C-alpha cells in the first residue's frame, strides 16, 4: 500500500520536473530577443544590454533554469516585466480569485453530475435517463463561451439577477466578487458535468448488471443500500479519472469564461501577459497549470485506492 | 406434508430488441413442488431455462424478462404478487440463493465479514464462517473477496446464504468452475448444512454427477420445458425420455474402457481406445522442466514424452501447474530450467509420402524458446487450443476469417481463393457446416466455437496439439461430441495430443497415458488403464474419489460430509491437503 502511494507520488514529482523543463524551454524558444521585445525596436543598444544583464540573459540557459526553479520552489517567480512587481504575489492574487470560481464549479459539477449520472443509470431507458442524457449531450456539444453568453442574456439582461461583468480589479475582496461568481461557475459546470454524467451513467449501468449487485439484491437489502454500499464504490472507479481530467481542464476552461465576464482571475491574467510578452508571468502560470493537472491525477489515483481494495492489499498473502 | 415451494405452470418470456421486439419464451409451463427438507434438482443444458426458474423463487427476473403465466409460491406466499417490502423480507428470510460464481457474486470493495453480517440473522459472522468450515474465521472475516481462493469464496457465499436461517436454499450451479476436489468439499458441506438446518434446496446443475449425489427429486428441462421429472433413483435407473437418456449416456465414466459414443436415443457404445504402435516416433519430449512465477515455483522438474498419435493427459486440481506447462510448450511462457524439444521429422523414416518438406522441418526444435523466437516451421507444428473459445476468437471477425489467418500466416496455402477453400475444408473436418464460416463467433453455440478453435489450431497442420481444458466450459453432450472429434482427429492425423483436464473421468476414455500433477510435481504417471485400475498415489485416489458419477441407485449423501462418501466404490477416500 505504501509502496503504491510512494510510486504514485514519485511519478507525480517526476512529471512536474519534466513539465517545468518543458515550460522553461518553450519560453526560451520564443522568437526574438526578450530585451528587444520589452523595450521596443527603437531602444538604444545600451539600454538593451543593461536589461539583458538585469534579466541574466547573458548566462547559460541551464543556470537560469536552476535559478528560476529554485526560486519557484520558494514561491519566487521573479519580477513581472510589465509592472515590475513580484510575479508570485500577482499570480497568487489572480489565482485566488479563480480558485473561488473553480471551487464553486467543482462542488456543483462533481456532486451534481454524479447524482444525475447515477439516476440516469438506475432509471435506464426510462424518462429520467432520456432527459438527463439529452441535456448532458447538449451541454457537451455547446462551447463554454456560448453557454456563458446565453447565461448572461438570461440572468443578467433579461432577468437582472447577477452582474454581467465584474467591475472590480484583482484586489477585490471575496464579498465583492461573490455575486459575480455564480454565472461563470454555472457555465463551466454545464460543460464539465456533461462528461462526468455520461461516464457515471455508463459505469452505473455496468455495475448494476453485475452479479454481486444481484446477489446483494437477493439478500433482501433495500435499493438504497444496494446502490450506496455495493454498486457505488465500483461504479465510481472509472468515473474518478474523468472527474480528475475535467477538474484539471478547468485551469484552461476558466480562461475563456473569465474573459467573457471580465472576471479578474488567472485566465484573464494569462491572456494579458501573453499579449504583453510578460514571460515570467507566463512561465509561472504554465507551471501552476501543470501542478493542477498532476495534483488532480494524483488525487484520482489515491481515490481509486480508497475504492479498490485490490490496490490496497497488494502484497498481502492469501 | 405441504410443499414449501410450489411452481405452477410458470412461463417466462424475454423481450428482444427494445420496445418493438417480440417475446421470446424462455420458460414454458414449468411446474414443480419441493417438500420441506427435500432437495430438488433442475437439470438441463445451457439455454434450458433452469437458472431462470430458480431465480423466480426469489422473485428475481433478468432485465427485460417477465412472467407470462403461472405462479410461484414460496412458504405460502405468491412471490410475484408480493409488495416490494414483503418481497425483501422473503429474500432476507425465507429463501436465500448461492450464486454460480462466488468470485463475481461477492462485492469486491467490501470485507466479507460485513457482507455476511448484512444478510441479516442473529448468528455471529464468526460462527457462520466456522459452520462453513473455514479456517481462522475471525481473521478471514476481515479480508476482501479477492484475497480468498475459489473454494473459500464459495464457502463464504454459502455462509451468507444461511446467515438468516432460511427455509429454502436456491443453489445455482454452486460448484461449476471449481476443480473436482474443491467441488466435492463444497457439496459435502452443502449436504451437511442442509441436513443440520433442515433446509429444502433447489439445486440447478448441468452436472448429472452432482445431481445424483445431492438430489431427492429431479426435473429435467430442455428449451424451457419439462422433459422428465422423477425421484432421483428412478430417473437414473430408468430414464424415460430419450433426451434424458442421451444426457445420462454422455457423462464420461471412470470405468469406460474407451470413448463412449452416444446415439440419438441415448444408447451408449464404448469405442476401444486407438492403438498407438510401439514404434510410433516421439513428437515432444520434456525433461526436468521447471517454471517459476517470480519466486513461486509452478512446475518443478516434470518430464514426459508424447508420441505421434498418442494422447497424454495432464491431470491435477487448479494450481497444480498443468496449464502453466501447456502454455510453456506453446511458447507463451519461458521455462526457467530443463529442456523441451520437438522431435522434428514428418513421418517415420522411409515414408516418402510426406510431400512438402520445407527447410527445417526435419530438424528437431527447441520448445524452451518463446513462440516469437521459434522458427515459423516449428511454431506451425505445435498448436494450442484455448479453454474458452468465446474469448479467444475475435468477436468482430467471421470464424472463417479466424481459420484463414493462420493458413496465410504459415504459408500453408498460396492464393486467397485456396485459403477460402482450405478453411471450408478445415471447418468441415471439425464436423461443422462450411456455411458457418461467414458467421461471427457470437452467432455460434459454445460447442461450435470450440470446434472452430480446434479448426484454427489445425490450420497450421500441426503434429502436436495442446488442448487446455477445452471441454470444461461445455455442456455434457457437447463435451462428448468434442471429445469424440479430438479422438477422430488424432487417429486421422496422427496428432500427438497433450490433453489437460482437472476431471479424471473425462480423461479416461481418451487418453493413452496419464500424468498426475500436484503442486507442480508429477505424483503418478502411467498407462491409463493401469492408473485407473490401481492408482498408486494417495492423491490420484483422492482425485478419483472426488469424481461424481451419475450412477443408478445412488441416493444423496447422508453422512456428515467429511467421511467416506457412499458413492465411492473403489479405494478408500484419502484425506489430503485442504
Query: What distance in Å separates the CA atoms of residue B55 and residue B134, rounded to the nearest whole number?
Result: 27
* A293, part of any domain: yes
Minimal CA separation from B155 to chain A, in Å: 15
CB-CB contact of A112 with A283 (8 Å): no
CB atoms < 10 A from the CB of A158, how many?
Answer: 9
| B392, three cell numbers | 479467444
pTM as predicted: 0.78
* A35, part of any domain: no
- Is residue B332 less than 8 Å (CB to CB) from chain A? no
**What ipTM goes with this model?**
0.75
Query: What distance in Å separates the CA atoms of residue B141 and residue B145, rounded to the nearest whole number?
Result: 10
* A25, part of any domain: no
Q: Please report the pLDDT score of residue B95 as a whole number.
A: 92
3-state SS class at A184: helix
Taking CB atoms and an 8 Å limit, are A318 and B149 in contact across chains? yes
What is the mean pLDDT of each successive set of 10 residues along chain B, which is 578 residues long?
Answer: 89 74 86 92 88 91 87 90 90 87 88 89 88 88 88 90 90 84 88 90 90 92 92 89 90 83 81 81 90 85 91 88 89 88 59 42 73 85 86 88 88 82 90 88 86 90 90 84 90 91 86 91 91 90 86 46 38 36
Query: What distance in Å separates the CA atoms of residue A47 and residue B48, rounded to the nearest whole number?
Result: 91
Q: Please report the pLDDT score of residue B347 as a whole number.
A: 41
Residues of chain B contacting residue A309, judged by C-beta atoms under 8 Å apart: 108-109, 144, 146
* A59, part of any domain: no
CB-CB contact of B569 with B557 (8 Å): no
Q: Which helix or strand (DSSP H or E) is residue A21 part of?
A: helix A2-28
| Helix-helix angle A266-276:A279-307, to 10 degrees | 150
* A135, part of any domain: yes
Domains and CATH numbers, chain B: 5-254 (3.40.50.300), 282-346+356-545 (3.40.50.300)
> How many domains would you assign to chain A?
1
Residues of chain B contacting residue A221, judged by C-beta atoms under 8 Å apart: 88, 92, 118
| B355, three cell numbers | 510431400
Taking CB atoms and an 8 Å limit, are A215 and B120 in contact across chains? no
Residue with cell 510435481: B521
Residues of chain B contacting residue A217, judged by C-beta atoms under 8 Å apart: 60, 91
Partner residue opposite A234 with nearest CB, options B60, B93, B109 = B109
Which domain does A127 fall in, by range? 87-312
| B571, three cell numbers | 479405494
φ/ψ of A163, rounded to 5, equals -65, 140
Minimal CA separation from A9 to chain B, in Å: 24
Q: At a CB cut-off of 8 Å and minimum separation 6, what does B497 contact? A: B306, B310, B311, B312, B464, B465, B466, B467, B486, B490
Q: What is the DSSP letter of B460?
A: T
Taking CB atoms and an 8 Å limit, are A307 and B109 in contact across chains? yes
Q: Please report the pLDDT score of residue B352 as a whole number.
A: 39
* A36, part of any domain: no
The CATH number given to whatever domain includes residue A263 is: 1.10.3720.10
Pairs from A54-58 (Cβ < 8 Å, separation ≥ 24): A57/A33
The sheet with strand B365-366 has its strands ordered as B296-307, B282-293, B337-342, B365-366
**Which three-class secondary structure string do you get for B416-429?**
HHHHHHHHHHHHHH
Distance of CA A157 to the CA centre of its chain: 29
* A155, part of any domain: yes
* A118, part of any domain: yes
Query: What distance in Å separates the CA atoms of residue B61 and residue B5, rounded to the nearest whole number?
Result: 17
Taking CB atoms and an 8 Å limit, are B104 and A210 in contact across chains? yes
Instruction: List Cα–Cα distances, B168 to B128, B203, B217, in angstroms.
Output: 17, 11, 15
| A186, three cell numbers | 454555472
Q: What is the interface size between A and B, counted as CB pairs within 8 Å?
A: 81
Q: How many helices (H) and strands (E) does chain B have?
A: 21, 22
3-state SS class at B342: strand
Closest CA to B358 of B350, B346, B367, B347: B346
Q: Please report the pLDDT score of residue B20 as a whole number.
A: 62
3-state SS class at B162: helix
- Please identify every stretch of chain A with a pLDDT value under 70, giving residue numbers as ranges: 31-33, 37-38, 314-318
Amino acid at each position: 500500500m505504501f509502496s503504491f502511494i510512494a510510486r504514485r507520488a514519485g511519478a507525480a514529482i517526476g512529471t512536474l520536473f519534466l513539465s517545468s523543463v518543458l515550460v522553461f524551454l518553450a519560453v526560451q524558444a520564443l522568437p526574438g530577443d526578450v530585451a528587444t521585445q520589452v523595450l521596443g525596436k527603437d531602444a538604444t543598444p545600451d539600454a538593451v544590454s543593461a536589461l539583458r544583464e538585469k534579466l541574466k540573459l547573458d548566462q547559460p540557459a541551464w543556470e537560469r533554469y536552476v535559478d528560476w526553479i529554485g526560486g519557484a520552489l520558494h514561491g519566487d517567480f521573479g519580477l513581472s516585466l510589465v509592472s515590475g512587481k513580484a510575479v508570485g504575489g500577482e499570480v497568487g492574487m489572480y489565482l485566488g480569485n479563480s480558485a473561488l470560481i473553480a471551487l464553486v464549479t467543482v462542488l456543483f459539477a462533481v456532486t451534481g453530475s454524479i447524482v444525475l449520472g447515477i439516476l440516469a443509470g438506475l432509471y435506464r431507458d426510462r424518462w429520467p435517463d432520456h432527459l438527463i442524457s439529452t441535456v448532458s449531450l447538449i451541454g457537451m456539444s455547446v462551447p463554454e463561451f456560448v453557454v456563458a453568453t446565453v447565461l448572461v442574456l438570461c440572468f443578467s439582461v433579461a432577468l437582472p439577477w447577477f452582474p454581467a461583468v465584474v467591475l472590480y480589479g484583482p484586489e477585490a475582496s471575496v464579498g465583492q466578487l461573490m455575486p459575480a461568481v455564480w454565472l461563470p461557475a454555472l457555465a463551466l459546470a454545464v460543460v464539465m458535468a456533461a462528461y462526468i454524467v455520461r461516464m457515471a451513467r455508463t459505469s452505473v449501468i455496468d455495475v448494476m448488471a453485475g452479479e454481486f449487485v444481484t446477489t446483494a439484491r437477493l439478500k433482501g437489502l433495500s435499493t438504497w443500500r444496494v446502490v450506496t454500499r455495493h454498486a457505488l464504490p465500483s461504479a465510481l472507479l472509472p468515473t474518478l479519472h474523468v472527474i480528475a481530467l475535467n477538474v484539471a481542464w478547468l485551469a484552461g476552461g476558466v480562461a475563456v469564461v473569465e474573459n467573457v465576464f471580465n472576471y479578474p482571475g488567472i485566465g484573464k491574467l494569462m491572456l494579458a501577459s501573453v499579449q504583453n510578452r510578460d514571460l515570467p508571468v507566463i512561465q509561472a502560470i504554465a507551471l501552476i497549470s501543470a501542478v493542477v493537472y498532476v495534483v488532480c491525477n494524483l488525487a484520482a489515483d489515491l481515490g481509486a485506492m480508497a475504492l479498490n481494495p485490490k490496490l490496497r492489499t497488494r502484497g498481502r498473502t492469501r | 406434508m405441504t410443499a414449501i415451494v410450489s411452481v405452477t405452470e410458470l412461463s417466462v418470456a424475454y423481450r428482444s430488441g427494445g420496445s418493438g421486439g417480440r417475446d421470446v419464451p424462455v420458460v414454458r409451463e414449468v411446474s414443480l413442488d419441493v417438500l420441506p427438507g427435500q432437495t430438488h434438482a433442475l437439470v438441463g443444458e445451457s439455454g434450458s431455462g433452469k437458472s431462470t426458474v430458480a431465480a423466480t423463487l426469489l422473485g428475481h427476473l433478468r432485465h427485460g424478462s417477465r412472467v407470462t403465466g403461472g405462479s410461484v409460491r414460496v412458504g405460502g406466499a405468491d412471490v410475484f404478487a408480493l409488495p416490494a417490502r414483503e418481497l425483501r423480507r422473503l429474500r432476507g428470510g425465507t429463501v436465500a440463493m448461492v450464486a454460480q460464481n462466488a468470485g463475481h457474486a461477492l462485492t469486491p470493495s467490501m470485507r466479507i465479514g460485513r457482507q455476511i453480517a448484512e444478510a441479516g440473522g442473529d448468528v455471529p459472522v464468526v460462527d457462520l464462517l466456522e459452520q462453513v468450515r473455514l479456517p481462522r474465521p475471525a481473521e478471514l472475516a476481515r479480508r476482501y473477496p479477492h484475497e480468498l481462493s475459489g473454494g473459500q469464496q464459495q464457502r463464504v457465499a454459502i455462509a451468507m446464504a444461511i446467515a438468516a436461517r432460511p427455509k429454502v436454499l436456491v443453489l445455482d450451479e454452486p460448484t461449476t468452475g471449481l476443480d473436482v476436489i474443491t467441488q466435492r468439499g463444497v457439496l459435502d458441506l452443502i449436504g451437511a448444512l442442509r441436513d443440520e438446518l433442515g433446509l429444502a434446496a433447489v439445486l440447478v446443475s448441468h452436472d448429472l454427477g452432482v445431481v445424483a449425489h445431492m438430489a431427492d427429486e429431479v426435473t429435467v428441462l430442455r428449451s424451457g420445458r419439462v422433459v422428465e421429472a422423477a425421484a432421483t433413483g428412478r430417473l437414473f435407473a430408468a430414464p424415460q425420455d430419450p433426451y434424458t437418456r442421451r444426457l445420462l449416456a454422455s457423462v464420461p465414466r471412470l470405468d469406460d474402457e474407451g470413448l463412449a459414443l452416444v446415439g440419438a436415443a441415448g444408447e451408449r457404445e464404448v469405442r476401444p481406445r486407438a492403438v498407438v504402435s510401439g514404434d510410433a516416433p516421439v513428437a515432444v519430449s520434456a525433461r526436468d522442466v521447471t517454471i517459476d512465477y517470480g519466486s513461486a515455483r509452478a512446475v518443478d522438474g516434470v518430464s514426459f514424452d508424447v508420441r505421434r498419435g498418442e494422447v497424454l493427459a495432464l491431470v491435477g486440481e487448479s494450481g497444480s501447474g498443468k496449464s502453466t506447462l501447456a502454455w510453456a510448450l506453446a511458447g507463451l511462457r519461458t521455462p526457467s530450467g530443463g529442456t523441451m524439444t520437438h522431435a522434428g521429422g514428418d513421418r517415420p523414416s522411409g515414408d516418402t509420402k510426406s510431400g512438402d518438406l520445407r527447410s527445417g522441418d526435419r530438424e528437431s526444435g527447441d520448445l524452451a524458446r518463446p513462440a516469437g523466437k521459434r522458427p515459423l516451421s516449428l511454431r506451425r507444428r505445435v498448436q494450442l487450443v484455448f479453454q474458452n473459445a468465446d474469448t479467444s476468437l475475435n468477436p468482430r471477425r467471421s470464424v472463417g476469417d479466424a481459420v484463414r489467418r493462420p493458413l496465410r500466416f504459415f504459408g500453408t496455402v498460396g492464393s486467397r481463393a485456396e485459403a477460402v477453400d482450405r478453411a471450408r475444408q478445415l471447418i468441415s473436418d471439425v464436423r461443422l457446416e462450411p456455411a458457418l464460416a461467414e458467421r461471427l463467433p457470437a452467432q455460434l453455440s459454445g460447442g461450435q466455437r470450440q470446434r472452430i478453435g480446434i479448426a484454427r489450431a489445425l490450420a497450421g497442420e500441426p503434429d502436436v496439439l495442446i488442448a487446455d481444458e477445452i471441454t470444461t466450459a461445455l455442456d455434457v453432450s457437447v463435451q462428448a461430441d468434442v471429445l469424440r472429434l479430438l479422438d477422430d482427429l488424432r487417429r486421422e492425423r496422427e496428432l500427438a495430443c497433450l490433453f489437460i483436464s482437472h476431471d479424471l473421468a473425462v480423461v479416461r476414455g481418451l487418453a493413452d497415458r496419464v500424468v498426475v500433477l500436484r503442486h507442480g510435481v508429477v505424483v503418478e504417471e502411467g498407462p491409463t488403464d493401469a492408473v485407473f485400475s490401481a492408482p498408486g498415489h494417495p492423491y490420484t485416489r483422492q482425485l478419483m474419489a472426488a469424481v461424481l458419477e451419475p450412477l443408478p441407485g445412488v441416493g444423496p449423501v447422508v453422512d456428515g460430509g467429511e467421511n467416506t462418501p457412499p458413492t465411492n466404490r473403489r479405494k478408500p477416500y484419502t484425506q489430503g491437503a485442504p
